Amino acid sequence: MSDLLHTLRQIVGPAEVHTEGDLSAWEQDWRRRARGKALAVVRPATTQQVAAVVRACAAAGTPIVPQGGNTGLSLGATPDASGREIVLSLTRLNTVRAVDPANLTLTAEAGCLLHAVQDAAAQAGLLFPLSLASEGSCTIGGNLATNAGGTQVLRYGNARELCLGLEVVTAQGEVWSGLRGLRKDNTGYDLRDLFIGSEGTLGIITAATLKLFPRPAAQLTAWAAVPSLAHAVTLLALAHQHLDAGLTAFEAMGRFALQLVQQHLPQLRVPFVEHPDAPWCVLLENSDSESADHARARFEALMESALAQGCISDAVVAENLTQAQQLWQIREGIPLAQAKEGLNIKHDIAVPISRIADFVAHTDALLTRELPGVRLVTFGHLGDGNLHYNVQAPQGCDAQAFLQAHEAHVNALVYDAVAQFGGSFSAEHGVGALKVRQLQQYQSPVALGLMRTLKRALDPQNVLNPGRVLV
């Protein structure tokens, strides 16, 4: 091993191979659920250095855990406890290499913060629409490696849809230079999408060419009380029809989730939370290429039509940016309010939008029957069919003990129901080391066989992030 560390120091410089001191920034995951022990944390500064590190580790048979901002939620970038794995941190590759406004593209290195990419686009008068809670800490390389989602997928797609080209270091330590800024390119197999979402197990993304968009002239936010989740789905269809591509967010929140916000974050005023006919609320955002007045007129036409069809009980449109931000703070405050209420079991699931109301009714009933008193914190990106379907221990009960006793059972009930409704057990958070067992259980044998074939073909030595995604 000291030979390998010597070689790594030669490649990246002795100051960038960390083996001592507090390595928790790299060894501990974001949600503090796992703490590993790395052989070393290696911080290359260039793509060529990344390639050389991979070649050195491959030669030594040492596994590599690629890491971006270390904000993942599925333990895909946390080293295991063996002390045998290298953490390869990409954060020093943090240059925005080019912005091309006429081509509506931007090329950034993997370690650029998502926020820095958004800023570089904004400085060119354009929009990079990927947006997540962790955008100040996560990196674009990690976003692509995990195919991140977020709040604007409805209009602009996941990280995958926002990427035109990649630069990747392969498991053999070669560099694939695929940074093409082309909207159309049918010259062989789609290598790009194979690496995107593979969580560093097939190759290491070192740079990407990304799509940019015109910035909207105005953004307006509204909040609607709806009589049921099924009505929220009807409202979604109406919103698509009225606003088309202007509809950039459609978030649904169950009453209990909102009550938690009201209780634990009392500085936020939650509209309609005690409205008798509002078991659900919806936050909508309309991004308009014309003007604020036009955005408001379109919203009003939508709300009128929704009221006439009985799919909303009441609604407010934010009068200004501050009000809009307050509405978003309610939506984004749910995870915090939930944490303040106590430990809980989180699920990041997707089902077809047409079945989502039935799924929630079915699964709510199942959980309430099996675990009386259990409280369901349901909210999320309804426009994408993606819910955070979280389970809070019964009131007054010891949450830690409840989780210990019931977490596996709750997960099985929820994920079985998801499968039954044609859904996904991991909509936007990925598999990592956390959901490897679920992947084996819920993907078909044919799909698993294909995935294993791809892994063996591209990384026969199993050097890249072994044990993550597939075992």
d(CA 419, CA 415): 6
Q: Note the helical H segments in 200-247.
A: 229-243
Q: Does 124 bind a second copy (CB under 8 A)?
A: no
Applying CB under 8 A, the span of 129-137, 252-260, 346-354, 404-412 interacting with a second copy comes to: 346-354
DSSP type of residue 268: S
CB of 274 vs a second copy, minimal distance in Å? 29
CB of 391 vs a second copy, minimal distance in Å? 20
User: Strand 348-350 vs strand 386-392: parallel, antiparallel, or unpaired?
Assistant: antiparallel
According to CB under 8 A, which residues from 92 to 111 bind a second copy? 100-105
According to CB under 8 A, which residues from 243 to 282 bind a second copy? 243-246
Q: Are 101 and 125 in contact (CB under 8 A)?
A: yes
DSSP type of residue 150: B
Q: Does 181 bind a second copy (CB under 8 A)?
A: yes
According to CB under 8 A, which residues from 362 to 381 bind a second copy? 381
According to CB under 8 A, which residues from 380 to 399 bind a second copy? 381, 384-386
Q: Given candidates 2, 22, 24, 188, which one binds a second copy under the rule CB under 8 A?
A: 188
According to CB under 8 A, which residues from 127 to 156 bind a second copy? 146-147, 149, 153-154
Q: Does 9 bind a second copy (CB under 8 A)?
A: no
Joined together, the tokens standing for residue 125 give 């008068």
Orientation angle between helical segments 47-60 and 2-12, nearest 10 degrees: 170
> 138 vs 68, 133, 203, 301, 409, CA distance in Å?
7, 9, 19, 38, 32
According to CB under 8 A, which residues from 410 to 429 bind a second copy? 422-429
Q: Does 352 bind a second copy (CB under 8 A)?
A: yes
Closest among 379, 114, 415 to 259, alpha carbons compared: 379
Query: 105 CB contacts (<8 Å, ≥6 apart)?
Result: 98, 99, 164, 181, 209, 210, 211, 212
> 366 vs 86, 315, 373, 414, CA distance in Å?
44, 32, 12, 9
CB of 188 vs a second copy, minimal distance in Å? 5
Q: Are 172 and 268 in contact (CB under 8 A)?
A: no
User: Strand 247-254 vs strand 96-100: parallel, antiparallel, or unpaired?
Assistant: unpaired
What is the Cα Rg of the chain in Å? Answer: 23
Is the CB of 139 or the CB of 158 nearer to a second copy? 158
Q: What is the DSSP string of 333-395?
A: HHHHHHHHH--EE--EEE--GGGHHHHHHHHHHHHHHHSTT-EEEEEEEGGGTEEEEEEEPPT
Query: Residues 197-236 vs a second copy: string with x where CB under 8 A?
Result: xx---x----------xx-x----------------x--x
CB of 146 vs a second copy, minimal distance in Å? 7
Applying CB under 8 A, the span of 8-16, 172-180, 363-371, 399-407 interacting with a second copy comes to: 172-180
Q: Does 191 bind a second copy (CB under 8 A)?
A: yes
Q: Does 121 bind a second copy (CB under 8 A)?
A: no
Q: Does 68 bind a second copy (CB under 8 A)?
A: no
Q: Does 350 bind a second copy (CB under 8 A)?
A: yes
According to CB under 8 A, which residues from 439 to 468 bind a second copy? 439, 442-444, 446-451, 453-458
Is the CB of 75 or the CB of 202 nearer to a second copy? 202
* Number of residues binding to a second copy, judged by CB under 8 A: 95
Q: Given candidates 6, 25, 83, 190, which one binds a second copy under the rule CB under 8 A?
A: 190
According to CB under 8 A, which residues from 73 to 92 bind a second copy? none
